[in-house]
Amino acid sequence: MPETPAAPDLSVAAGVLFDLDGVLTPTAEVHMRAWKAVFDEVFAAWGITPPYTDADYFAYVDGKKRYDGVASLLHSRNVEIAWGSVDDPPEADTICGIGNRKNAAFATALRRDGIAPYPGSLALLERLRDAGVPMAVVSSSKNAEEVLAAAGIRDFFEVVVDGVVAEREHLASKPAADVFRVGAERLGVAAADAVGVEDAVSGVASAAAAGYGTVIGVDRGAGAEALRAHGATIVVDDLAGLVS
């Protein structure tokens, strides 16, 4: 049986680039609840079967840009609708309208309940900051800046490549390499020397496709084997295990 790779010492890394939701903050849980509420409503109204499940979230939505996630999920049920435009109202029955409906639900929950970073993630950020390691966030979310500010961790990061940047610069959604490639470039780190930290199979695949030398999978529900199969070089349950 192959040995489990030892946890790397990130305090000597050239640069560490983190996904946000589910890696640094438990916002993935807020996203999951918002997606379920919206898709349950859409599926019921349109008579779509089988029902939406958490497995659908991990398979079709997790880690992707919002509208790509909607399109991927509906395609899995052989449902094709108009894409629409980013300024579609939340009640519009388009890909963008459904995505905007979900975002409204997410924003309401975030502003009502707030968010805090995972304790293990905060401990790692503090360790890396003290060691002078450059850090970035690479997130598909258009809410990344708001979440980082709400969690009180924005100042840890020199670079943020999020859904807003991806849309403005026409970067392909994870699992394509685009966002992690651009993140490393802007952090001034060669991809081969960079460390990517992700909890979604699409994100792990993105960092691997960008040529990252180390890809750390954080298993918050996607499954260790799935993360390894998509390119994770090591899988942990919590970033506390990487604090040395």
Q: Looking at the annotation, which residues are catalytic? A: 19, 21
CA 180 from chain center: how many Å?
Answer: 11
Any idea of the CA torsion for 69, 31, 106, 135, to the nearest 10 degrees? -90
CA distance 234 to 35: 29
Residue 115: both structure tokens together? 């968010």
Residues β-bridged to residue 138:
161
- Read out DSSP for 22-84? TTTBTHHHHHHHHHHHHHHHHHHHHT-SSPP-HHHIIIIITTS-HHHHHHHHHHHTT------
CA distance 5 to 103: 38
**Looking up tokens 């509420």, which residue turns up?**
37
Residue 233: both structure tokens together? 């070089």
